[in-house]
Structure 1
Amino acid sequence: MQQITIYDTTLRDGAQAEELNLTTQDKIRIAQKLDDLGIHYIEGGWPGSNPTDKKFFDAVRSCTFKNAKLAAFGSTHMAKFTPEKDPNLAGLLEAETPVVTIFGKTWDIHATIALGVPLERNLELIANSVAYLKARVDEVIFDAEHFFDGYKRNPEYAMKALNAALEAGADRLVLCDTNGGSLTSEIGEAVRAVREKLPEARLGVHAHNDSELAVANSLEAVRLGAVQVQGTINGYGERCGNANLCSVIPNLELKMGFTVIGRDNLAKLQPISNFVSEIANLRPFMRQPFVGASAFAHKGGIHVSAILKDARTYEHIPPETVGNERRVLLSDQAGKSNILFKAHELGYKLEKDDPTVDRLLKELKIKESMGYEYSVADASFELVLRQTLGQPLHYFHFRNFFVVDAKREEDPEPMSEATVIVDVKGQQEHTAATGLGPVNALDQALRKGLERFYPGLKEMRLLDFKVRVLSGAVRDTGGTASFVRVLVESGDKTDHWTTMGVSHNIIEASWQAVVDAINYKLFKDEMAAAE
């Protein structure tokens, strides 16, 4: 099978995405993960453009890469300098990378308008820069900026620009859809023409996603002869982003029969997708193909029934191939198969004709119509399941809570105080606590009443708290009287779990979620002690 190399530009082009900021240490950690994934080239940045990229190239010299070659990125030399005097080329060489990638103008209007030089002078800039660098580094890659737009407007000149780089010694010519506006058919036409005119050239492709075709355009270029794809993890990049390598790689390897990073490394795709999202402090895109949390999530009862018989009925590849997992969601569209799958997943042995399944399905549909969403709160679902099975949890009994919020003119923040009364093991606990907001005060007061009986609660922590206003729920009156759903993610030393509550009253919804979280923690501890 033919080898297709992957050139990752997450650290440079990806870092130009809105809301994405990477420190030097962030970039080094990502680079090490990319190397472990089997990526062939890692573009570290433009050493002459900003202090962060220069620091990265200084710091990365102490790192060892087992798979990837590190590349520095920059432009052709400025028209007013010779290559020997150009500060940009000097910065590229100072980075001391085995690979240097430079971009040059291949669209005639960019030469005459953006650079302000005659067309022939632009060809000289390309040739002189490539030749100068090739004499000093192992490998030079030429990024033909705006090639596809240039080819549509002036194909003869675009080809001349490519030929100038090739004759000067460029190891690879990368055809760039810089504006991201080319259709796949246009990509194909241009790649065919380049293959015909420059058959000896080794081609790459660099696609942007402004028409949501970056992945498709990259695959088409490879199909027609390109041997390298440039892109980013999760498709991060300027404007609408770059070709998403988390989709490009498995499509090439699994669907088109090329060797890319190797089948064994494909299972690392989902973990590295989440890793880069976490480092970038960006929420992962749930519906991202292959690696998103929803990529193999099934909600419709008919779908679930089918995948339990043969997963190929509604999955284009086995999820574990790319490090993902199958998920079955519980909702008002769920059927018995969803209930059985989730119950078996949690260790409860139910059969399809068990009356419990019908009762639970009915209960879930009623709750979902009120705004409960059990597909995102597995812990709350298990508590409902136990209740339906006649196995409710009785760690404490709620009697009363009372919450006071007050703020005076001179107070910078409101004061919150909560009082809670619960029965625990035959004793009534009446506790009070203040907190940073009413929910925190309630949580503190409830814990104060329970921790004496259940010391394991001291290791439980709130990890996340989300509130969503619901529309369309039963008895929804809209506006500030709408139902709200509260999701609470909690964790301890070994696990984390999500619970929820729904009510017109945000305090009541929060209370439900917190009580479920505590009950689930106590249930977990009880099961662990029994083993």
Structure 2
Amino acid sequence: MVTRKIEIMDTTLRDGEQTSGVSFSVSEKLTIAKLLLEELKVDRLEIASARVSEGELQAVKKITAWALENNCLDKIEVLTFVDEGKSIDWMLESGAKVQNLLTKGSLNHLTHQLKKTPNQHFTEIRATLQAAAKFNIKTNVYLEDWSNGMRNSKEYVFEYLDFLTTQKVERVLLPDTLGILTPEETFRFVLEVRQKYPNTHFDFHGHNDYDLGVANVMEAVKAGVNGLHLTINGMGERAGNAPMASVIAVIKDFLKEVKVTVNEKALHKVSRLVETFSGFRIPVNKPVVGANVFTQTAGIHADGDSKNNLYFNDLMPERFGRKRKYALGKTSGKANIQKNLQDLGLSLNDEELRKVTQRIIELGDQKEVVSQEDLPYIISDVLDSATIEKRVVVENYVLGHAKGMKPSTTIKLKVEGVVYEEHAQGDGQFDAFMNALKKLYKIHSKKVLPKLIDYAVRIPPGSHSDALCETIITWKNKDKEFITRGLDLDQTVSAIKATEKMLNII
């Protein structure tokens, strides 16, 4: 089967930067441009709009200088306007050699925004094309609002294309500017244009207002389009543009008659970098690049993966430089835990595994997901607790901390079935807890509490504010030192749990 090449043009730095609240710095634009061309290996980049700002000009200068040194200046494109040569002057100053000229692709836009006739518009476009040619600037032409043009003023669209195909134009760019097309319309409109002008290169530029961006791109490819405009993470105005990662996966898996040069393994890396630079967060369930999309949560899925990969599909994480994960939580079960233990090189017997599973289920009721990094802490806590006979229980406590007042704690302690209660203040909540405990033991017990000689807090590497917290306390009782550990989402509570273990040991 003969395959045809589809050009991929990334417009993250131009259309993607129109995402509300997003603005890349000069150095960020250059870094992203390099990654897109060198690692992701897209065919072309649309990096800016002409005449926007001084910062935009400086960014384009940096990128074009780098592209010239690396023999890829023809891959750098800038959005320009029919503005009596002002955009071309800007292009010359910036060093860019390919313009994407914005023109009107619907009679509605032409009549109400420009208030001009088709002939007036065509005459001005011709003059702009001729001026660009004088300076060896290549031109691609956008038909803004082309999708509405095909719906409502098709005669105008074909009148314009009849004119445009007689001019010196590299590519004609067909945008669904307002994201209004259905997949059926996309196929029909693109096919109609391709059949009427078989020798013209057409790009499709899809927006995602109805969440149909990827489906529309798929139909445009089936209808014979030559190129696609995409953005990293689906960035763009309103609901954004067709997302790069999803489209590349769809083409490679379902459209075998075409090929693209994009390097799938770099998609996740580039996606995360753009997320960092833009502040535009990737939804955790976003296909291909989202944090959760290669994470199995249900234990039955982990079990099935161990039995002939029953829950795998063609979207293997390794394709995108990622790894499958098995979430730890109240729905995960033993199979998920076993998968995580294998990754960590740990093994437990059946009874230990049962206890750890139960502890993770309990934690899952408090916290949606327990991370793999949490697992050694949980194992240590569970196995350590199992060796201690629980004769003393901290049944209840109230921790109080108000501005301008000393922290206070009220505790209820059950010792071999007898309940005691005490209140105290301290320099912190845990100090108040310890003071209450000392008062209680001084009054009701002949035992002397050991001295606290070291207090350490750990959270798993790379954890966030909802991470499990392990408190490790070293105690000294006469000449003997011993350590207890407590594990919880709250630091003070984890320290109280470590203290409860100390009380049982003594």
- Under a length normalisation based on structure 2, what TM-score does the superposition of the two structures give? 0.77
Q: Are residues 62 and 131 of structure 1, via their aligned partners in 2, closer, same or farther at CA, if it must alter by over 3 Å?
A: closer
Matches for 1:320-399 after TM superposition, within 5 Å: 320-350=318-348, 354-368=350-364, 370-373=365-368, 375-389=369-383
What is the rounded CA distance, in whole Å, between the counterparts of 2:356 and 2:9 in structure 1? 51
Letter of the 1:226 partner, please give it.
V
What is the rounded CA distance, in whole Å, between the counterparts of 1:288 and 1:12 in structure 2? 22
Q: Are residues 335 and 297 of structure 1, via their aligned partners in 2, closer, same or farther at CA, if it must alter by over 3 Å?
A: same
Letter of the 2:221 partner, please give it.
V
Counterpart of 1:261? Answer: 261
Letter of the 2:261 partner, please give it.
I
**Per-residue CA distance 1:66-112 (angstroms, 9 max, x = gap):** 6674434334423xx4xxxx312321333222321111101001111
**Per-residue CA distance 1:32-55 (angstroms, 9 max, x = gap):** 111121011111201312222111
What is the rounded CA distance, in whole Å, between the counterparts of 2:354 and 2:196 in structure 1? 68
Residues 111 and 118 in structure 1, CA contact (< 8 A), matched pair in contact too: yes
What is the rounded CA distance, in whole Å, between the counterparts of 1:128 and 1:223 in structure 2? 35
Residues 188 and 224 in structure 1, CA contact (< 8 A), matched pair in contact too: yes
Letter of the 1:170 partner, please give it.
V
User: Are 1:171 and 2:174 counterparts?
Assistant: no
- Picking from 477, 488, 492, the partner of 1:511 is 492
What is the rounded CA distance, in whole Å, between the counterparts of 1:104 and 1:189 in structure 2? 22
What is the DSSP-based 3-state SS (H/G/I as helix, E as strand, rest coil) of the residue aligned with 2:66?
Answer: coil
What is the rounded CA distance, in whole Å, between the counterparts of 2:55 and 2:62 in structure 1? 10
Question: How far 1:514 sits from its partner (Å)?
Answer: 9.0
Question: How far 1:465 sits from its partner (Å)?
Answer: 5.0
Question: How far 1:137 sits from its partner (Å)?
Answer: 3.1
The count of corresponding residues between Structure 1 and Structure 2 is: 435
Letter of the 1:320 partner, please give it.
E
Deviates more, 1:62-71 or 1:240-249: 62-71
Q: Are residues 42 and 489 of structure 1, via their aligned partners in 2, closer, same or farther at CA, if it must alter by over 3 Å?
A: farther
User: Are 1:428 and 2:464 counterparts?
Assistant: no
What is the DSSP-based 3-state SS (H/G/I as helix, E as strand, rest coil) of the residue aligned with 2:195?
Answer: helix
Q: Are residues 168 and 387 of structure 1, via their aligned partners in 2, closer, same or farther at CA, if it must alter by over 3 Å?
A: same
Counterpart of 2:474? Answer: none
**Per-residue CA distance 1:331-378 (angstroms, 9 max, x = gap):** 222232112111212221247xx233333333332332x3233x3433
Q: Which runs of 5+ in 2 are unaligned?
A: 389-393, 406-425, 435-448, 471-485, 498-506
Matches for 1:368-517 after TM superposition, within 5 Å: 368=364, 370-373=365-368, 375-389=369-383, 404-407=401-404, 418=428, 428-429=451-452, 449-450=454-455, 466=465, 486-487=466-467, 501-502=488-489, 509-512=490-493
Matches for 1:6-85 after TM superposition, within 5 Å: 6-35=8-37, 36-64=39-67, 65=70, 69-78=74-83, 81=84
Letter of the 1:418 partner, please give it.
G
- Under a length normalisation based on structure 1, what TM-score does the superposition of the two structures give? 0.74
Residues 328 and 371 in structure 2, CA contact (< 8 A), matched pair in contact too: no
Letter of the 1:247 partner, please give it.
S
% same residue: 22
What is the rounded CA distance, in whole Å, between the counterparts of 1:272 and 1:215 in structure 2? 19
Q: Are residues 363 and 427 of structure 1, via their aligned partners in 2, closer, same or farther at CA, if it must alter by over 3 Å?
A: closer
Residues 334 and 357 in structure 2, CA contact (< 8 A), matched pair in contact too: yes
Counterpart of 2:204? Answer: 205
What is the DSSP-based 3-state SS (H/G/I as helix, E as strand, rest coil) of the residue aligned with 2:4?
Answer: coil
Deviates more, 1:173-182 or 1:241-250: 241-250
Name the larger-Rg structure: 2
**Per-residue CA distance 1:172-198 (angstroms, 9 max, x = gap):** 111100000111111111011101111
What is the DSSP-based 3-state SS (H/G/I as helix, E as strand, rest coil) of the residue aligned with 2:82?
Answer: coil
Counterpart of 2:152? Answer: 153
Letter of the 1:301 partner, please give it.
G
Q: Are residues 246 and 393 of structure 1, via their aligned partners in 2, closer, same or farther at CA, if it must alter by over 3 Å?
A: farther
Q: Are residues 356 and 254 of structure 1, via their aligned partners in 2, closer, same or farther at CA, if it must alter by over 3 Å?
A: same
- Picking from 7, 10, 21, the partner of 1:5 is 7
Letter of the 2:492 partner, please give it.
W
What is the rounded CA distance, in whole Å, between the counterparts of 1:134 and 1:242 in structure 2? 31
What is the rounded CA distance, in whole Å, between the counterparts of 2:304 and 2:452 in structure 1? 50
What is the rounded CA distance, in whole Å, between the counterparts of 1:253 and 1:140 in structure 2? 30
Residues 11 and 230 in structure 2, CA contact (< 8 A), matched pair in contact too: yes
Q: Are residues 276 and 339 of structure 1, via their aligned partners in 2, closer, same or farther at CA, if it must alter by over 3 Å?
A: same
Residues 373 and 461 in structure 2, CA contact (< 8 A), matched pair in contact too: no
Q: Are residues 274 and 114 of structure 1, via their aligned partners in 2, closer, same or farther at CA, if it must alter by over 3 Å?
A: same
**Per-residue CA distance 1:15-47 (angstroms, 9 max, x = gap):** 110121211111111111111210111112013
Residues 14 and 232 in structure 1, CA contact (< 8 A), matched pair in contact too: yes
Question: How far 1:145 sits from its partner (Å)?
Answer: 1.0
What is the DSSP-based 3-state SS (H/G/I as helix, E as strand, rest coil) of the residue aligned with 1:39?
Answer: coil
Counterpart of 2:181? Answer: 182
**Per-residue CA distance 1:231-289 (angstroms, 9 max, x = gap):** 11001010110110111122223432333125xx2111111110110111233321111
Q: What CA RMSD, in Å, does the superposition of the two structures yield over aligned residues? A: 3.4
Counterpart of 1:313? Answer: 311
Residues 430 and 496 in structure 2, CA contact (< 8 A), matched pair in contact too: no
